[in-house]
A = this chain, B = another copy of it.
């Protein structure tokens, strides 16, 4: 009961089902929920590109501009392509659904596996990056990174266990704050640099190049920047959570997000180039730009704070998507049933808990340094893009609605472009971790398929079709006793007065010491209530073995032999007293658990002291 009170305090009172519709999101709040994931990568993608280019020396950094333009173009293509998806699937156009609808089971499960992995990675990577922004500004916190990351995830998980709209509201302000901060910095930075208002720049050592500039390096830089595209999927997957008309609203959200994020991304990349920012060290690129524009002043701290918040909150997108996708998979019997049931706050609690568990595990294993996870992350995103757009192409071909040729062309471009990027990513990042995705995704698909087959088989087996009538049983009720006392008398009486006249009731005693048996039989004559006593000898002092042998003997009479074991148990008043009683009963229950045609019934005896 006390546990329940803690739960109420943390996640709030239960909500009736009738409240479900009100929990949908308005456009402005939805924007905030989905935007955090979509926008947060702006803070990040430039740095990833620069970190690859710097391998060829600081001169190569200028290639960041054309690469950023290429990524912006890709982003525009994906956004346009996804606009069609969310319009066509107003009930929720997640890749899994689109692929299932148009491409069949295996592609759908592949997309689902890639997405589930990505949702976990989003949480780990975003939270770690958010804490990076914090420790860039406040270096003394650096040693506590992992603890800060884990604490952050716990807070996000609790917010989500409270329910979707409340968490949306919680996250709206920081998202808009981030957009204002970054666009402000970009604007002021460009104008200030032009008019020479900015503070004096410090000299930064430019490391020598380790590699030459070649096509492979540029492709790797481009691949690295592709992390900027994540989050588009979030909107299409979460259409269901928007207010009606869901499709149109989702389109608007998507367009707005595309435009704003492209502007922010290009602006940051331009400033990094203009200021000659060198990536690396313990400071992020955005932090370096902000320091260059504002010095270490209040606006600088505002930039860092908003970056931290948006990144930390980006993790929240996964908390909308992971539970939703797993509940869909659970409904389709590809994941355990438990993921399909909403908790008493109308959220899919099990999904939230599993997601948090995995994300925390990754953070702890990687010690809060999640750079290594980024390639895995990007590949998952592009698997999903390609399958989703490919599915849309199939859809237009199949339905041939008005304007289908043009629509198919748009989605076709999207599918081909993202497919090419996916290949590039896999090849250029294979050694850096892409191989893990290549291994884990098929494994997950296999797990889904295996669970599905099991559930289907069980459903077949349990079907009442062809069942002629109920099974007939021969009941034997055995009361296991170790002594004769009030608890035993109670259990024997329970068995006697419950069991039908057709059931044989017997007491079973395992003999440890023949002298004791005689005394026990005497008392049984008085208190056995007419139930016959079976004494089993035990040459090896095991209580369990003779009982099991006796049960086997009864059940060997036929398949219809149902044995009910009645165990007298004590209910002590205090928790520590449990350790002093019922140990034998526990042992017997353990041995009989999950055995055919055996039912174990504990008859409790409440101890008063």
Contacts and interface: CB of A to CB of B under 8 A. Distances in A.
A540 B471 contact: no
B594 A598 contact: no
Contacts of A216: none
B571 A14 contact: no
Contact of A458 (B471, B602, B607): B607
Contacts of A515: none
A593 to B, nearest CB: 8
B455 A475 contact: no
Nearest to A459: B485
Interface stretch (A81-89, A239-247, A317-325, A491-499): A491-499
A169 to B, nearest CB: 23
A497 to B, nearest CB: 6
A492 B464 contact: no
A490 interface: yes
B464 A486 contact: yes
A336 interface: yes
Given A454-B577, A464-B484, A604-B595, A541 B17 contact: yes
Interface in A450-496: 451, 454-455, 457-458, 461-464, 467, 470-473, 475, 477, 484-487, 489-490, 492-494
A582 to B, nearest CB: 10
A583 B463 CA distance: 20
Interface stretch (A23-31, A298-306, A337-345, A405-413): A337-345
A529 B464 CA distance: 13
A519 interface: no
User: Which of A464, A542, A583 lies at the interface centre, i.e. has the most chain B CB atoms within 10 A of its CB?
Assistant: A464
Given A464-B527, A542-B14, A599 B602 contact: yes
Contacts of A603: 599
A400 interface: no
Interface stretch (A142-150, A159-167, A229-237, A500-508): A500-508
A5 interface: no
B457 A473 contact: no
Nearest to A465: B486
A498 B499 contact: yes
A558 interface: no
A493 B475 contact: no
Classify the secondary structure of A's interface with B: mixed
Interface in A1-59: 14-17
A140 interface: no
B473 A344 contact: no
Contacts of A487: 462
A584 to B, nearest CB: 9
Interface in A422-464: 451, 454-455, 457-458, 461-464
A603 B599 CA distance: 6
A604 B609 contact: no
A562 interface: yes
Interface in A574-609: 577, 579-581, 583, 594-609
Contact of A540 (B336, B344, B541): B344
Contacts of A608: 461
A537 to B, nearest CB: 11
A515 B336 CA distance: 23
A464 B493 contact: no
Given A471-B493, A486-B467, A601 B461 contact: no
A553 B15 CA distance: 24
Contact of A490 (B471, B500, B600): B471
A523 interface: yes
Nearest to A489: B470
A113 to B, nearest CB: 18
Contacts of A454: 572, 577, 580, 609
A144 B502 CA distance: 66
A539 interface: yes
A16 B542 CA distance: 10
A570 interface: yes
Given A342-B541, A489-B464, A497-B502, A571 B594 contact: yes
A135 interface: no
A489 B467 contact: yes
A461 B609 contact: yes
B571 A541 contact: no
Given A493-B471, A500-B501, A580 B337 contact: yes
A470 B594 contact: no
A498 B564 contact: yes
Contacts of A526: 464
Contact of A470 (B15, B458, B485, B492): B492
Given A344-B542, A523-B464, A457 B609 contact: yes
9 contacts: A17-B541, A344-B542, A454-B609, A461-B486, A461-B609, A470-B492, A472-B493, A498-B503, A599-B603
Pairs A-B, 6 closest by C-beta atoms: A462-B485, A14-B540, A470-B493, A601-B601, A457-B609, A344-B540
Interface of A: 14-17, 336-338, 341-344, 451, 454-455, 457-458, 461-464, 467, 470-473, 475, 477, 484-487, 489-490, 492-494, 497-503, 523, 526-527, 529, 539-542, 562, 564, 570-572, 577, 579-581, 583, 594-609
Given A454-B577, A461-B609, A564-B601, 15 more contacts: A16-B540, A17-B539, A336-B583, A337-B583, A462-B486, A470-B489, A471-B489, A471-B493, A475-B497, A494-B599, A497-B500, A498-B564, A571-B594, A597-B604, A600-B602
